[in-house]
Chain A
Amino acid sequence: MAARVIVIGAGPAGVRAAEALVEAGVRPLVIDEGRRDGGQIYRRQPEGFRRTYAALYGTEAARAQRLHHRFDALRPHIDYRPETLVWNIREGVVHLANAQGASHAPFDALIVCTGATDRLMPVPGWQYAGTYSLGGAQVALKSQGCAVGERTVMLGTGPLLYLLAAQYVKAGVTPAAVLDTSPTRARLRALPQLLVKPAVLLKGAALLRTLRAAGVPIHRGVTPVRIDGDEELGVRGVHVRLADGTALDVPANAVAMGFHLRPETQIADLAGCAFAFDDAAGQWLPEIDEDGRSSVPGVYLAGDGARVRGADAAECAGRLAALAALRDAGVEPKHDDAARLRAELARFSRFAAGLRAAFPWPAHHARQLPDTTVVCRCEGITAGELRRVCTQDGAVEANRAKAFSRVGMGRCQGRFCAHAGAEVMAAALAVPLADVGRLRGQAPVKPLAVALDPAPYADVTVATQDNAASATPRSMELS
């Protein structure tokens, strides 16, 4: 075996992929944006922080601990680059940036485990300071032990809405309210699919008990009307319409919002992977086979970065993708449990479909947004302007609308506005969502410092074998 394998991401999928590679005697290069391993869900606190696993991860403490310990054990057998951004990828080479500078590494196989971020829906006023994504609010809590506000409204839908609210309660910052756009009946309808994973359902029930015990108001089937506030002082409150039609004002100095998750697919996009519109998810997703092979030979996609199925599924998918990469390179995995993993993953897929049905993306909100609502926060472009370029300037597709209006052209490159923007376009043009297309990915994956210079050893050699745990390969010392 002489395969140079790179794993991008050190969350649940990336760690299990690296583990399978190491088992087979391969020494992968593991690149991660985070300062420590664990990804978003099992984010490790900075060195020196002393919170317990139970305090940090609640019901997921045991899983988090297992994954962290597994990664610690893998460390002598992998080349690990934390705090490193994969900013570009082209023709079998990944391009990296970190504090040491720019470098690049060629690969034979690439396993992309880039995770997910919040899927966001604009709400009038969401541009005011004090509006965070649920994920962002969670990062502040897990990493630094900070809440985003003293009175925080959790707004949106999805499991993370309740998980974060419960985590805030445990941290001693009781949320002002949990405002869920999904109606109760959606949850009931999804119950048969959700019963595939009864243990996860029970964890959900436990979160609700925590919130009720703390007296957190929970409203379902709400329609977000606006976030009150101003440019100077930021968020002052949230105004919604309840399921029964009555108005509700919740005073708050922060809002954490999210509408379930979307995969981070820029690296798959830059690698040239084919995408297809997924009707069930209502999103463009990279095409993968059941083991995670993309349309590009040698490029594998695993975890929430490919399909949002949760952390447990990501562990399965990461290992499965690594096993596929090994077999494709002609290596017989020592412990090939692919068949079991595929079956397990199929159950997670059914559960994920249940979650999507229980916490539906409120597409109709995007279609009803007032013209004055900011859709693209980076560039400050309103729904009205986006509608205007569609109906008056002839933009019939997402990239054209971006060129004319700048929606998706800013710092986030459309990662947080493209979904809602596409809904606004589809409604304005009266076409199916898929016809609007998707924004083409462009480098850099995240903003790249103009100060960046090549690292002292910019040519990174990826090891093909793990010869000995004792000797650190030269490539490891570089940066």
Chain B
Amino acid sequence: MSTHASHTAHADVIVIGGGIMGCSTAYFLRRHGLSVVLLERNLTGQQASGTNFGGVRRQGRALPQLAMSNRALRIWRASRELLGSDVEFLPSGHTRVAYHAHDAEYFDDYARQARDYGLDLEVLHGAAMRRRFPFLGPDVLAASISPLDGHANPRLAAPAFARAARALGADIRENASVRRVERTATGFRVETVAGESLVAERLAICAGAWTNALASQFGESAPLTVRGPQMAVTEPVPYVFRSSMGVYTSIKEESIYFRQIPRGNLILGGGPPGPADAATSRAAVLPENTLGQLRQFRRLVPGVAPLHIIRVWSGVESYLPDGEPVIGKSGTTDGLYYAFGFSGSGFQIGPGVGETLAELIATGRSEIDLQPFRIQRFDAPGPSTPASAPIMAQGDPLSPTVTSS
């Protein structure tokens, strides 16, 4: 294979990574009038963006994420008009339930605090909860309902953003793996494995689990780990479960979440993650995890026992130690931006992140405070650098222990 550049392309911005972050960023960059090339190593919307649960869920997020999450919800609501295709967004509600008294109490605290961030929740306990959700198992003590949340189809969403971006003039390139990135006097040069060389004034890296290989070329990194969500789907049955539901618990084994789509299938996930490998782009569902999910699914909704699982799947997701993503400017390099490390909770806020990152790149500022998501928070701790000062999530009691993107 030739290492000579076959041709050089120029754009205002190069986006690396065709997940929901990269695709929505490219889309909104075009709406700002900037020229965009997006490079995706495989196909758009795979791995974390395409294999997740499909939750369009604000509740349960750390409070500093809610502004971004609200922004994203506005985009989801307008998605059909914006994208010109149906990504099956269904705002039929999201409900968290608790098995333990301290978790049930926490629902009230979270609802009180979330209200200040524009998220209205209804918390029901005991008999009131049971009247609303008679199908829930006897272990359920309380439910926290977010009526405006819902779910969408992750297999469709990111590719739909990519197509919409392309329709607005973005150059979306699939099967374009990046070999090298570097700062030049006027911006950035990106070299693909195929030998193409592209230059741009600004660069956005939205490469999920594959980010560090790129970021390290600019002298920075984040402590990413990879895992695979453990997903499953049942055969279709009559559509009865409007609200997407998930168990909130600190006991990983008893976490389970599910949603039903109008065609009837129930999609479920939760419990311990499976192994994933960024190098091979493979993630597995462990058989024991599937069996554990079946047990927990019956505990949550005993009536599902007669159903069958017809398929399981996983994908490579990247996690950061505090469960919060990196969004915003590089700590080392002018003109470089990041959005990655969404820790199993990126699907819903993806379009909000894309709009925000595009705004930041195009105008130099963003409507939303990105301080909590700085990449510098992972810099080696020294006496003079309170890098983890943005505080929030680490050990924050409001940080959910159960991710259900």
Residues of A within 8 A of B (CB): 87-88, 90, 93, 95, 102, 104, 379, 393-394, 400, 403-404, 409-411, 413, 442-444, 447-454
Contact = CB atoms under 8 A, between A and B. Distances in A.
B391 interface: no
A393 B235 contact: no
B54 to A, nearest CB: 12
A450 B309 contact: yes
A403 B155 contact: yes
Interface in B147-195: 155-156, 159, 163
B304 interface: yes
B159 A450 contact: no
A403 B54 CA distance: 14
B287 A443 contact: yes
Q: Which 10 A-B pairs have the closest CB atoms?
A: A447-B308, A403-B155, A451-B305, A95-B287, A448-B309, A88-B287, A450-B307, A447-B310, A450-B294, A442-B311
Contacts of B290: 88, 443-444, 448
A404 B156 contact: yes
Given A102-B291, A442-B311, A403 B50 contact: yes
Contacts of B294: 448-453
A404 B287 CA distance: 26
A394 B163 contact: yes
Nearest to B268: A450
Given A442-B312, A449-B294, 11 more contacts: A87-B287, A104-B287, A394-B163, A403-B155, A404-B155, A409-B311, A447-B235, A447-B308, A450-B298, A452-B291, A452-B294
A87 B312 CA distance: 11
Contact of B313 (A95, A442, A451): A442
Interface of B: 43, 50, 155-156, 159, 163, 234-235, 263, 284-287, 290-291, 294-295, 297-298, 304-313
Nearest to B154: A403
A409 B233 CA distance: 10
Contacts of A400: 43
Nearest to A408: B311
A444 B298 contact: no
Contact of B308 (A88, A93, A379, A449): A449
Contact of B286 (A90, A409, A413, A450): A90
Contacts of A88: 287, 290
Nearest to B314: A442
A241 B298 CA distance: 52
B312 A444 contact: yes
A443 B309 CA distance: 9
Given A90-B284, A102-B291, A450-B234, A410 B312 contact: no
Contacts of B284: 90
Contact of A443 (B155, B295, B312): B312
19 contacts: A93-B287, A393-B163, A394-B163, A403-B155, A409-B311, A410-B310, A413-B310, A442-B311, A443-B311, A444-B309, A444-B312, A447-B309, A450-B297, A450-B304, A450-B305, A450-B307, A450-B308, A451-B294, A452-B294
A90 B287 contact: yes
Contacts of A410: 235, 310
A394 B156 CA distance: 12
A393 B153 CA distance: 15
A296 B308 CA distance: 30
A154 B182 CA distance: 66
Contacts of B235: 410-411, 447
Contacts of A409: 311
Given A404-B155, A447-B310, A449-B308, A454 B298 contact: no
Contacts of A93: 287
Given A448-B309, A454-B291, A443 B285 contact: yes
A451 B43 contact: no
A87 to B, nearest CB: 8
A88 B307 CA distance: 18
